[in-house]
């Protein structure tokens, strides 16, 4: 990899430190504590993936599963009339585990992660629909959840293209730059959300 490749990789890996900084600045409600768990898991997994020599696909499979469960939990707490979300979470979990164990074990789980991206994009858009339909906050940009939703949407939109093309991209590391940029942007938006919450 070139120096620029390393720059994007390490910028992505350590970008969770930006939102984690705001842990010192306030107390957070249940949805935001779930997001803090999500950020912490992402940071830990990225560190392990970068510094773990050899095949780390097992770590990535496990991370994708836990990441999805945490975000299902988050959306279940912030989307109103959300009785269908637990059923979606269960269906996805069964699909993801079957796919990882029987179809994509030992390789990057392109199918599982791509489906996860589509679901998270849908849930983010569903939350935006709720914001604009209910008009709960005239100044929507003051809502921490609004900024967190943007972060989730931006990341999974960029990640979807990366994961979908991963069978080719895995052979050409520079093409992962889109994923790394999406991850950095995600953490910037999550940091804005936590900052907005710390000011309340």
> Around 150, how many Cα atoms within 13 Å sit in the side-chain half-sphere?
17
Q: How confident is the model at residue 51 (pLDDT cuts 50, 70, 90)?
A: confident
Looking at residue 136, what is its pLDDT? 58
Sort 20 into a burial class: Cβ within 10 Å, 0-12 / 13-18 / 19+. middle
pLDDT at 2 over 70: no
Q: Give pairs for 22-31: CB < 8 Å, separation 24+.
A: 22/191, 22/194, 22/195, 22/197, 22/198, 23/194, 25/194, 25/195, 25/198, 26/194, 26/197, 26/198, 26/199, 26/200, 28/194, 28/197, 29/197, 30/77, 31/74, 31/77, 31/78, 31/145
Q: How far apart are CA 166 and CA 169, in angstroms?
A: 5
Report pTM.
0.89
Give the C-alpha distances (Å, rounded to integers) separating 92 from 4, 15, 101. 36, 28, 14
Tell me: the pLDDT tens digits for 106-126? 888 889 999 999 999 999 999
State both tokens at 22. Answer: 């705001």
Q: pLDDT of 146-180, one tens digit each?
A: 999 999 999 999 999 888 876 665 555 555 788 88
Q: How confident is the model at residue 9 (pLDDT cuts 50, 70, 90)?
A: confident
C-alpha to C-alpha distance for 102 and 88, rounded to whole angstroms: 21
Domain ranges for the chain, please list them: 20-198
């Amino acid at each position: 990899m070139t120096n620029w490749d390393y720059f994007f990789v390490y910028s992505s890996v350590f970008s969770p430190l930006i939102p984690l900084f705001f842990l010192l600045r306030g107390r957070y409600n249940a949805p935001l504590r779930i997001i803090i768990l999500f950020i912490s898991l992402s940071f830990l997994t990225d560190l392990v993936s970068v510094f773990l020599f050899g095949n780390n696909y097992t770590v990535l499979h496990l991370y994708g599963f836990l990441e999805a469960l945490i975000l299902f939990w988050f959306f279940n707490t912030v989307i109103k009339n959300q009785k269908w979300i637990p059923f979606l979470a269960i269906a996805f979990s069964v699909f993801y585990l079957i796919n990882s164990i029987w179809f994509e074990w030992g390789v990057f789980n392109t199918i599982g992660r791509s489906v996860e991206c589509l679901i998270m994009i849908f849930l983010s858009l569903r939350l935006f629909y709720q914001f604009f339909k209910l008009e709960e906050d005239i100044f929507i940009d003051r809502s921490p959840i609004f900024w967190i939703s943007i972060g989730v949407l931006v990341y999974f939109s960029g990640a979807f293209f990366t994961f979908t093309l991963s069978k080719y991209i895995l052979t050409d590391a520079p093409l992962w730059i889109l994923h790394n940029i999406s991850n950095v942007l995600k953490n910037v938006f999550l940091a804005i959300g936590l900052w907005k919450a710390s000011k309340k």
